[in-house]
Amino acid sequence: MSAIEADCLVVGGGIMGCALAYWLTGAGRGVVLIERDELNGGASGGNAGSLHVQMLSHFARLEAPRDAADAERPLRLHVAAVAEWQALRSALGEDLELHLEGGLMVAETAGEQRVLESKVVREARHGVVVDLLEGAAARAFAPYLGSTVRCVARCATEGRLNPCLATPAIARAAIARGARLLRATALHSLERDGTGFLARTGAGAIRAGSVINAAGPWAGEVAAMLGVALPVTRRPLQMSVSEATAPFLAHLVQHAGRRLTLKQATSGNVLIGGGWPGRLDQAGHAQLARQSIEGNLATACRVVPQMAHLNLLRVWTAFITRVPDGNPVLGETPGMPGFFQALAIPNGYTLGPLCARLVAEAVCGRSTSFDLSPWSPGRFAAAASHFH
Partner 1 sequence: MLSEVQSRDAHFASMRVRGAFTASAAPVAFTCDGAAIEGLAGETLAASLIAAGRTMFHPDGTAAARGLFCGMGVCRECLVSVDSEPNVRACMTTLEAGMRVETRPPARPVTSRATLRDDPVETPDVLVVGAGPAGLCAALAAARAGARVCLLDERSSLGGQYFKQLATSHRFAARPDRQFRDGLALIEAVRAAGVTCHSNATVWAAFPGLELAALVQRRRVLFQPRRLVLATGAFERGVPMPGWTLPGCMTTGAAQTLIRANQVAPGQRVVVAGNGPLNWQLSAELLAAGVEVAAVVEAAERFSLAGPAALARRLAADPLRTFEGARLAARLRSRLAFGSVLVELHGQDRVAAVTLARIAASGRPLPGSERRIEADAVCVGYGFIASSELARALSCRHEIGAPGTGLRAVRDADGRSSVPEVFIAGDGAGMGGAAAALAEGEIAGAAAAADLGYAARAGADSLLAARAALARQRRFQGALWTLFRAPPLTLQLARDDTAVCRCENVTLATLRRALAAGELDVGGLKRQTRAGMGRCQGRYCGALLNEVIGGGPADELALFAPRPPARPVPIGLVAREQAEE
Q: What is the distance between the alpha carbons of residues 100 and 279, in angstroms, rounded to a whole number? A: 33
CB of 85 to partner 1, least distance (A): 19
Q: What is the distance between the alpha carbons of residues 167 and 96, in angstroms, rounded to a whole number? A: 9
Under the binding rule (CB under 8 A), the answer on residue 298 touching partner 1 is yes
Under the binding rule (CB under 8 A), the answer on residue 370 touching partner 1 is no
Among 131, 314, 324, 366, binds partner 1 (CB under 8 A): 314
Identify which of residues 277 and 378 has a Cβ nearer to partner 1 in the complex.
Answer: 277
Q: What is the distance between the alpha carbons of residues 116 and 105, in angstroms, rounded to a whole number? A: 8
- Candidates 81-89, 96-104, 207-215, 274-282 — which segment interacts with partner 1 by CB under 8 A? 274-282
Identify which of residues 225 and 237 has a Cβ nearer to partner 1 in the complex.
Answer: 237
CB of 11 to partner 1, least distance (A): 19
Query: DSSP states of 106-144 as a string?
Result: EE-SHHHHHHHHHHHHHHHHTT---EEEEHHHHHHH-TT
Q: What is the distance between the alpha carbons of residues 299 and 275, in angstroms, rounded to a whole number? A: 12
Residues 6+ apart with CB under 8 A from 209: 6, 7, 8, 195, 196, 197, 338
Q: What is the distance between the alpha carbons of residues 353 and 22, in angstroms, rounded to a whole number? A: 9
Footprint on residues 164-193 left by partner 1 (CB under 8 A): 164-165, 168, 171-172, 175, 181, 183
CB of 288 to partner 1, least distance (A): 6
Residue 163 Cα distances to 169, 247, 370, angstroms:
10, 19, 25
| Identity at 108, one-letter amino acid code | E
Residue 9 Cα distances to 21, 76, 119, 315, 385, angstroms:
9, 29, 40, 34, 30
Q: What is the distance between the alpha carbons of residues 316 and 127, in angstroms, rounded to a whole number? A: 35
Q: Between 86 and 115, how does the x/- string for binding to partner 1 read (CB under 8 A)?
A: ------------------------------
**What residues pair up with 196 in beta bridges, in sequence order?**
193
Footprint on residues 276-295 left by partner 1 (CB under 8 A): 276-277, 281, 287-295
Identify which of residues 276 and 380 has a Cβ nearer to partner 1 in the complex.
Answer: 276
Residues 6+ apart with CB under 8 A from 263: 48, 49, 50, 160, 249, 251, 252, 253, 270, 271
- Candidates 89-97, 107-115, 149-157, 160-168 — which segment interacts with partner 1 by CB under 8 A? 160-168
Among 17, 24, 40, 336, binds partner 1 (CB under 8 A): 40
Helices 348-363/15-26 angle, 10° precision: 30
Q: What is the distance between the alpha carbons of residues 377 and 59, in angstroms, rounded to a whole number? A: 21
CB of 182 to partner 1, least distance (A): 10
Under the binding rule (CB under 8 A), the answer on residue 297 touching partner 1 is yes
Identify which of residues 132 and 165 has a Cβ nearer to partner 1 in the complex.
Answer: 165
CB of 184 to partner 1, least distance (A): 8
CB of 369 to partner 1, least distance (A): 30
Among 4, 10, 20, 39, binds partner 1 (CB under 8 A): 39
CB of 114 to partner 1, least distance (A): 19
Identify which of residues 29 and 255 has a Cβ nearer to partner 1 in the complex.
Answer: 255
CB of 171 to partner 1, least distance (A): 7
CB of 259 to partner 1, least distance (A): 6
Residues 6+ apart with CB under 8 A from 342: 16, 17, 20, 212, 213, 214, 329, 330, 355, 356, 359
**What residues pair up with 329 in beta bridges, in sequence order?**
343
Q: Between 233 and 262, how does the x/- string for binding to partner 1 read (CB under 8 A)?
A: ---------xxxxx-----------xx---
How does strand 196-201 pair with strand 204-213? antiparallel
Among 3, 132, 198, 301, binds partner 1 (CB under 8 A): 301
CB of 260 to partner 1, least distance (A): 10
Binding site for partner 1 (CB under 8 A): 38-41, 45, 164-165, 168, 171-172, 175, 181, 183, 242-246, 258-259, 267-269, 276-277, 281, 287-295, 297-298, 300-301, 305-316
